[in-house]
Amino acid sequence: MADSQIDSVLKESRSFPPPQAFIDNANYKPADIEQLYTSAAEDHTGFWAAQARRHLYWHQSFSSVLNDSNAPFFRWFEDGELNASFNCLDRHLPERADQTAIIFEGDDGEVENVTFQQLYERTCRFANALRSNGIEKGDRVVIYLPNIPQAVVAMLGCARIGAIHSVVFGGFSAVALRNRIQDAEAKAVITADGNYRGGKLVQLKQTTDKALEEGCDCVETVFVYRRAGNDIKMTPDRDIDWAQAVADQPAECPPVNVESEHPLFILYTSGSTGRPKGIYHSTGGYLLGAICTCRWTFDLGDQDIFWCTADVGWVTGHTYIAYGPTACGVTQVMFEGVPTYPEPDRLWAMVKRHGVSVFYTAPTAIRALMRQGDQYPQRHDLTSLRLLGTVGEPINPEAWMWYYQVIGGERCPIVDTWWQTETGGHMITALPSYTETHPGSVSKPLPGIAADILDESGQRVEDAHAGGYLVIRKPWPFMLRGIWGDPERYQETYFGMFDALTYVAGDSAQRDHEGNYRILGRTDDVLNVSGHRLGTMEVESALVAHQAVSEAAVVGRPHDIKGEAIVAFVILKAGAQADGLADELRSWVAEQLGSIAKPEEIRFTDGLPKTRSGKIMRRLVRSVARNEEITQDTSTLENPQIIEQMQAEEVR
Ligand code: WTA
């Protein structure tokens, strides 16, 4: 976030109490929320145990609530047993078999309603197909599908038999997909022939084939769902048509009840190094977080049509599409396409068409649609909406106000939810019937979430204007359980700074005198482009893998719509020509990582500012990228003259 942006956020003094009409119709009234806060403050573990008994169906109940004897390797509800898909499907059937679980709208506008009964049957059939193909409890399955109900079926199908899914976003490249398949040692991949997004064909099967060309011997089976009908190559003895695989399978599949701590899924996310981290979550604790936050933050109940616009490839789509709404028995909208196709009113048309009451999206989408103009939302009656949410990055007050006024008609509270892949669900957010909100502030930690802000020495930051490290001081049930295959990295990254109980989020934050938090941005080398996390090192590694590049430094600079844009400084190998190379490098990075990682700007340079020990001084590179005046002392640099040269370089 630029300094000017921080200033404007700090000067923000508007506040919005919960509208009375919202409170009157709320499922959780202010007194209920008050009660949650009180009981959580009195007894942290007792509070979570009570929630776990209230919201989950346990096949075998638990007696141990939290085992912290081997911190930071925490275990919640460890002697309990349950099945996640049972909790999302079977237990609703007596009351909700014919209720719509998913209102699916395809890219082309086709609509399909899937009832809970149908979702249950499809999940069972698919789970049986997985099993018939040798997938068992604990096996890893990579899912590389569009944002379509089959992705939910695939996820819940894995959960049904205790297999661990790892969804890879459909926009990721073959190389990124391959790395994830290898790291997880996946036994199967579930993909589609292709799909249309914004009218353009995405070649998922072709990319999968490319990913599997090298070093993926672990993969025995590839399930292929026919979505686009495009021509694909099927490899005999490996590839199976989804329709064929489920054709003769029974519509019932007894759930495999797993220990509460059994990993439900792995989801790869960016960190400070070039290697993505396989964050994995537990079954019981994670699912509890999904349910509690859907109930508390989104106030979801029987009257709601919920819509989270994220893709299932991100954690937001895991918690607020695949697991949360289904576990709550709530009807939701799922969308395959993009907000601007065929026209920039697509989301608003869909809100009207499906009667959406609770809508959850990202600031980058809000900013992009705000820029298109008010005429698009004004074409549609949006009065079905009662609550709005945002996630993924700090929202600037201007976008917040537009969302509030133009989309919410000054009637809907906004919940700005801070959380991460690692936290599994919302952590700091307004609660809609309860919290007075302020544009740009994520409000307060949820009941049972011990957030705090510390300085470098571990002291609590009391000053409302000073930033500090955002930490969580007590374990919570839906926290990550580890980094797949790398317990040391887990310990170091998240618990290495203070002590084994203090989770370090990697964000800096401020807290005002009323205890409201503002998120200032990442403290590590992680970029947030359009709400998606990307490690600077990942992009750098991709660049140096190109034959013409000898070295690269990647930083972010503020961008009106994307939040942050990627700027790459590139040193070429001797003899390599810069002409025409910028575009080639952009495509190269897209091929290596996916098109979200394409640098916005590439600047060729002869050197990078380095300390005498050879470390790139990222802060300086960032200042150059942002055209800021360099005020810090550069005399300790190995090559102080390089700064001026970098500032003078042409942007490509
Ligand atoms: C950022 C997405 C400000 C933050 C759920 C965090 C936010 C990272 C907010 C996690 C918010 C998320 N306000 N910043 N409401 N929500 N972030 O893992 O930097 O993709 O650490 O999870 O996004 O991104 P991730």
Q: What pLDDT, on the 0 to 100 scale, is given for residue 42?
A: 98
Query: pLDDT band at 2, cuts 50/70/90?
Result: very low
- Cα of 491 vs centre of ligand 1, distance in Å, is 21
pLDDT in tens, 345-360: 999 999 999 999 999 9
* Ligand 1 center from residue 268 Cα (angstroms): 15
Nearest CA residue ID for atom 25, ligand 1: 420
Identify the DSSP state of 405. I
Position 456 pLDDT exceeds 50: yes
pLDDT reading at 207 higher than 70: yes
* Mean pLDDT, the chain, integer: 94
Q: How far is the CA of 618 from the centre of ligand 1 (A)?
A: 22
Q: What is the Å distance from ligand 1's center to 390 Cα?
A: 10
C-alpha dist (Å) from residue 324 to 164, 240, 305, 389, 484? 18, 30, 13, 15, 23
Q: What is the DSSP letter of 151?
A: H
Spatial neighbors of 616 by CB under 8 A, at least 6 apart, are 553, 608, 609, 610
Q: What is the pLDDT of residue 650?
A: 79
CB-ligand 1 contact for 400 (6 Å cutoff)? no
Q: Which two tokens stand for residue 371?
A: 């820029």
pLDDT category at 618 given cuts 50, 70, 90 is confident
Q: Say yes or no: CB of residue 620 within 6 Å of ligand 1.
A: no
Mean pLDDT, range 597-606, rounded to an integer: 94
| 140 ligand 1 Cβ < 6 A | no
Residue 527 forms beta bridges with which residues? 534
Q: CB neighbours (10 Å) of residue 423? A: 24
The secondary structure of 460-482 as a DSSP string is BP--TT--EEEEE-S--TTS--E
How far apart CA 410 and CA 240 sit, in angstroms, is: 51
Residue 507 CA to ligand 1 centre (angstroms) = 9
**Amino acid in position 150:** Q
Asked if the model's pLDDT at residue 249 lies above 50, the reply is: yes
- Nearest-CA residue for atom 23 of ligand 1: 392
pLDDT in tens, 133-177: 999 999 999 999 999 999 999 999 999 999 999 999 999 999 999
Q: Whose CA is nearest to atom 24 of ligand 1?
A: 420
Is the separation of the CB atoms in 527 and 556 below 8 Å?
yes
Question: With a 6 A CB cut-off, is 416 part of the ligand 1 pocket?
Answer: yes
| Cα distance between residue 391 and residue 415, in whole Å | 9
Q: Identify the sign of the CA torsion 399, 401, 402, 407.
A: positive
- The number of beta carbons lying within 10 Å of the beta carbon of residue 64 is 14
User: What is the DSSP code (8-state) at residue 91?
Assistant: G
Pocket test for ligand 1, best of 268, 277, 419, 444 (most atoms within 8 A of CB): 419
The number of the ligand 1 atom at minimal distance from the alpha carbon of 314 is 20
- Asked if residue 522 has its Cβ within 6 Å of ligand 1, the reply is yes
Residue 542 CA to residue 552 CA, distance in Å, equals: 9
Instruction: Give counts: helices (H), strands (E), the chain.
Output: 23, 30
274 band by pLDDT with thresholds 50, 70 and 90: confident
Ligand 1 center to residue 138 CA distance, Å? 29
Domains and CATH numbers, the chain: 526-648 (3.30.300.30)
pLDDT at 4 over 50: no
pLDDT at 9 over 70: no
CB of residue 308 inside a 6 A radius of ligand 1: no
- Which atom of ligand 1 is closest in space to residue 532's alpha carbon? 20
Ligand 1 pocket, residue 418 CB under 6 Å:
yes
Does residue 470's CB lie within 6 angstroms of at least one atom of ligand 1? no
Binding site membership of 315 for ligand 1 (Cβ less than 6 Å)? yes
Query: What's residue 453's pLDDT?
Result: 97
Give whole-number Cα distances, 613 to 308, 587, 624, 636, in Å: 47, 33, 21, 10
Per-residue pLDDT, 1:
41
**Spacing, Cα 392 to ligand 1 middle (Å):** 4
Q: Which of 228, 229, 170 is nearest to 196 (CA)?
A: 228
Look at residue 218 and tell me whether its pLDDT is greater than 50.
yes
Closest atom, ligand 1, to C-alpha of 428: 15
How close is the Cα of 391 to the center of ligand 1, in Å?
Answer: 6
Contact in structure between 166 and 186 (CB atoms under 8 Å): yes
User: Interhelix angle for 30-42 vs 44-55, to 10°?
Assistant: 130
**Given the structure tokens 């370090």, which residue do they identify?**
504
Report the pLDDT value the prediction gives residue 533, as an integer from 0 to 100.
87
- Is the beta carbon of 269 within 6 A of some atom in ligand 1? yes
Residue-wise pLDDT tens digits, 315-346: 999 999 999 999 999 999 999 999 999 999 99
**pLDDT tens track for 184-197:** 999 999 999 999 99
Question: What pLDDT shows up at residue 641?
Answer: 84
Is any ligand 1 atom within 6 A of the Cβ of residue 419?
yes
Mutate to test the pocket of ligand 1, among 528, 532, 564, 596 (most ligand atoms within 8 A of CB): 528
- The two tokens of residue 112 are 């399909």
- For ligand 1, the distance from its centroid to the CA atom of residue 625, given in whole angstroms, is 23
Long-range contacts of 338-342 (CB under 8 A, 24+ apart): 338/107, 338/197, 338/198, 339/309, 339/365, 339/368, 339/369, 340/198, 340/368, 340/369, 340/372, 341/107, 341/197, 341/198, 341/199, 342/199
Cα(521) to centroid of ligand 1, in Å? 9
Q: How confident is the model at residue 272 (pLDDT cuts 50, 70, 90)?
A: confident
Position 6 pLDDT exceeds 60: no
- pLDDT score, position 10: 54
Alpha carbon distance 441, 511 (integer Å): 9
Burial degree of 247 (CB within 10 A; 0-12, 13-18, 19+):
exposed
Q: What number is the average pLDDT over the span 580-608? A: 93
What letter would DSSP give residue 404?
I
**311 CB near ligand 1 (under 6 Å):** no
Q: Whose CA is nearest to atom 4 of ligand 1?
A: 393
